[in-house]
Amino acid sequence: GESVGLHLPTLSVQEGDNSIINCAYSNSASDYFIWYKQESGKGPQFIIDIRSNMDKRQGQRVTVLLNKTVKHLSLQIAATQPGDSAVYFCADRAGGSYIPTFGRGTSLIVHP
C-alpha cells in the first residue's frame, strides 16, 4: 500500500549542529507535504509545508527539500537547539484529498 515512512527512528545531535531528518513517500499522486513537530505531552504542531511544484522551501531555521524523482523529503534544522528536541513527522496528501498520510516519526535528541 501507499505509505510515508522515515528512515531513522532516532537522531541524536549536539547543540549547534545542523540536523537532517529524512522521509520517503510512495504515493506518486502526492502533491502537498507537511512537517510536524510533536513535543512530549503535546499535539503535533505544523512546522513547514511544501507543494509539489517546488523543490525547496525555507522557514526560520528550517528548510524542507523535496525530490520528486526519488520520492524523498527532508527537513533541515540549522543550529539545532535543545528546544528542538521532539518527534518530527512528515505527512503527504494526494491532490484533492484532505486525508494526509503520516509517517511514524523520528525522535530528535539534542544534547547540550
**Which residues contact other proteins by CB under 8 A?**
31-32, 34, 36, 41-46, 49, 51, 89, 93, 98-100, 102-105
For residue 36, the minimal CB distance to other proteins (Å) is 7
Q: Which is nearer to other proteins, 15 or 31 (CB)?
A: 31
- Measure Cα distances from 13 to 4, 5, 77, 78, 90 in Å: 24, 21, 11, 11, 19
For residue 14, the minimal CB distance to other proteins (Å) is 27
Q: Which is nearer to other proteins, 51 or 61 (CB)?
A: 51
CB-count burial class (<10 Å; 0-12, 13-18, 19+) for 64 = buried
Q: Which is nearer to other proteins, 34 or 77 (CB)?
A: 34
